[in-house]
Chain A
Amino acid sequence: MSTMSDKQSVVSRGQLTPGGQAIKFASVAFVVGGLGVLGSVVAHQIDAVRFSFSYLFAFALASSVVLGALFFVLIQHLAAAGWSVTVRRVAELFAAGAPALLVLVIPLLALQPNIYHWYGEHGDDHHAPAGDSHDAAVHQDQGKAAMAAGGHGGAEHGHTPEHALHEALLESKSSYLNRTGFTLRAVVYVAFWAWLGVFLLRASRRQDQDRDAKTSARLQRLSAPLLIFFGLTLTFAAFDWLMALEPTWYSTIFGVYYFAGAAMAIHALLIVSTLSLKRFGFLGEAVNVEHYHDLGKLMFAFMCFWTYAAFSQLMLMWYASIPEELTYYALRWRGTNWSFLSMLLIVGHFAAPFILLMSRVVKRKLVLLGFGASWLLFMHVADMYWFVMPHAQGWESISWFDLVALMAVLGVYLGVVALWASRSLLVPIGDPRLSRSLGFENL
C-alpha cells in the first residue's frame, strides 16, 4: 500500500503547503510582537518591577507551549504512535518555535533583579514601587503572611529575627540560587529546547523527501534519552523561574504541576490550531474527527492530571500547615481578586470542563471540542498568571502591562513558528505510519 496514493486520495498537496498564507500570518504576528515590544518599553519606563513580573508571566506561558510541543512530538516518536502522524507536524512546528526563546530569555535575564532576590542582593524596599497607588493596608496584610516564614515585604523588614532566619535560609541555598547560576542554567535549558525543537522538525522534514523508514526507528531510539533530559530541564526551569519567586518555599511536585499544564495546553492548542488551519482550507481530511477525538481524550486526561498535581501539593501543605509552606497559598488567597482567580482555576480549569468534555459525543462534536479547547487555553493563561503574579506584591489586579508583555512574547514566538510553517508541509508525508494515521478509527 503506497502512502502517497493514500495521501492524494484524502488531501491535495496545496492543502499541505501554507507558504504565502504562513508568511502573512508571520508578518501579522511580528507586527503584533513589535507593538508589544514598544508597549513593553513604555511599561518598563513606568514601573520596571511590575513589568518584570508581567514579562515572566508571558515568558513562562510561551515556554510551556514549547515544552508541551516537545513532549508531544517526543512521546509520539517513543511510542511509535500511528494515530497522531497527521497532527504531529503542527506540534513539530510549535516545538521548532523554541529558538525564539533564545531571544526572549534575554529580557528575563536582564530583569531578574526586579523579580528574584538571592542571598546578598537584598534591597530594603525592592517590592515597593516608589510613590504609586500602593495600598499600605494590603501590603501590611500580606506582610504578616509572609513574615511567618520570614518572607519579604513586612513593615519591619530587615530588623527582625525572622529576617535573620530568612537570610540564613537564603545563604544555605545560595550555591544554587544565585544570579550566575540562574543565568547559566536558563541559557542551557533554552539552548537545549531550541536545538531539540529544530532537530525534530528537520529530521521529520528530511523524511518528507527521502521517505526513509529508518529515520522513524532512529527517532524512536533517541526519544528515550531526550525525554529524560527534557524532564530534567523542564523541572529545573520550573524551579528556577517560578518556584524561586519565593526562594524559601519549595514543593517537590512543582515541576510536575508545570508540566501537566503544559501538556494539557499543547493538546488544546493542537485542536484549536488544526481547526483553524482546516477553516482556512488546509489539511483537508488528513485530520478528521477520529484525530480530534483522541486529542480531546488526551487533553481531558492531562487536565485531570493537572488537577491531581495541583491538589496533591495543596492537600499536603494544607494538612501540614507549616507557615513556610503556607505562604504560597496565603499569597493566592489574599483579597477578593486572588481568591477569585484561585476559585476560577478550580472551577474553570477542572470542574466545568470535566463535565463538559467527559462525553464521547462532545469530543466528536468539533464545535464543542473547539470551544472546550479554547476555554482550556484561556485557563492555562490564567494558571500561568496565578503562578507568577501573586508574587508581584502590592499589585492586586491585571494591567495592560500583562497584555503588552503577552503581545511581545507570543508575537515573536508565533512569528517564528509561522516562518517554519511557510517552508514546511503540514503533514509528515514521508512517515511510514502515515497510512495508519489516515485510516485511523476509534473503536
Chain B
Amino acid sequence: MSEKTQTGGSGLTKHLSLVLAEFASPDALVAAAARVRGAGVKCWDVHTPYPVHGLDGAMGLKPTRLGVFSFIAACTGFLGAVTMIQWMNGYDYPLVVGGKQPDAYTAMVPIIFEISVLLTGLTTVFGLFVICGLPRHHHPLFESERFARVTDDAFFISVEPKSEEEKHRVSELLESCGASYIEHVSDHGGAL
C-alpha cells in the first residue's frame, strides 16, 4: 500500500512527514492548540470526533472565504438568468403566452431563483473541494493505528514540520503540552 502511494501517485511525489500527538481530553486539546498556535507553527491541524467549543478561537482560525465565492456565484447566477431570459423572451424571440407580456418579470422569478441557487450550490461544494485540497485519496495520517479512533473518542493534533530540526522542536512542544502519545508518521508507512 505504502509502496504504491510512493511510486504511483504523481501528486504525492513530495513525501509528507507528520508529527501526531494524542490528547486525553478536549480541554487538554484546546490548551495545547493555543500553545501550538503561540509557538508559530504554520502547517498543522486538529482532529476531533465532534465539534469542540472554543477550538476555533484557540487555533486562531480565520472565517472561511467560502462565503465570498458563494456570494459571487449567486450574483453571477442572478444577473446571468435575468440577462438570458430577458434577451431570449423579451428581445430575440418574444412569444406571447396566455396573453402575458413576453418579458414579464413575474414569470422569470422561479428561473432566476433556480439558476442562482444551482450556481451557488455547485460553487460552494466545489469551492470547498478546492479550499480543502480534495479529492485526495490517501493521507499518511491513516497509516497510524491509533488515529482510527479519531471518529470515536480520541483527540489529536497533527503537525507537518518543515525540517528535521522543527520536527524535534514540535515533538518536544507537544510533549510539554501533555500529549498522552506521540507518533511520527509519513507516507513511507509506519514510524520513521
Residues of A at the B interface (CB closer than 8 Å) are 311, 314-315, 318-319, 321, 359-360, 439, 441, 443
Do B109 and A319 touch across chains, with their CB atoms under 8 A apart?
Answer: no
Q: In the docked arrangement, what's the CA distance between A441 and B55, Å?
A: 12
Are B99 and A321 in touch, CB under 8 angstroms? yes
Q: Is the CB of B109 within 8 A of A321?
A: no
Closest B-chain residue to A320, C-beta based? B98
Cα-based distance from A441 to B67 in the complex (angstroms)? 20
Instruction: Please give, as numbers and ranges, the residues of chain A lying within 8 Å of B51 by CB-CB distance.
Output: 443
Is the Cβ of B53 less than 8 Å from the Cβ of A439? yes
Taking CB atoms and an 8 Å cut-off, the chain B residues in 94-129 that contact chain A are: 98-100, 106-107, 109-110
The A interface is mostly helix, strand or loop, or mixed, namely helix
Q: Give, as a whole number of angstroms, the nearest-CB distance from B143 to chain A.
A: 29
Q: Shortest Cβ distance from A406 into chain B, in angstroms? A: 32
The 3 residue pairs across chains A and B that have the minimum distance between CB atoms: A443-B51, A318-B106, A441-B53
A319 contacts B107, C-beta separation under 8 Å = yes
- Minimum C-beta distance from A283 to chain B (A): 22
Query: A311 vs B110: C-alpha distance in the bound complex, in angstroms?
Result: 10
Q: How far apart are A360's CB and chain B's nearest CB, in angstroms?
A: 7
Digitize B70-110: 1 where CB-to-A-CB distance is under 8 Å, 0 elsewhere.
Answer: 00000000000000000000000000001110000011011
A311 near B109 with CB under 8 A, answer yes
Q: Roughly how many angstroms separate A412 CA and B54 CA in the complex, as a whole number?
A: 45
Partner of A319, one of B53, B56, B98: B98
| Bound Cα distance A321, B107 (Å) | 13
Residues of B within 8 A of A314 (CB): 106
Is A321 a contact partner of B98 (Cβ separation < 8 A)? yes
Bound-complex Cα distance A360 to B64 (A)? 11
Q: Are B98 and A315 in contact (CB under 8 A)?
A: no
Report chain B residues within 8 Å CB of A318: 100, 106
Out of B56, B63, B99, B106, name the residue touching A315 (CB < 8 Å).
B106
B17 CB to closest chain A CB, in angstroms? 31
Q: Chain A residues near B109: list those with CB within 8 A.
A: 311, 315
A-B contact sample (16 more), CB < 8 A, given A319-B106, A443-B53: A311-B109, A314-B106, A315-B109, A315-B110, A318-B100, A319-B98, A319-B100, A321-B98, A321-B99, A359-B67, A360-B67, A439-B53, A441-B53, A441-B54, A443-B51, A443-B56
CA distance A181 to B109 in the complex (A): 40
Expressed in whole angstroms, the Cα–Cα distance for A443 and B63 within the complex equals 11
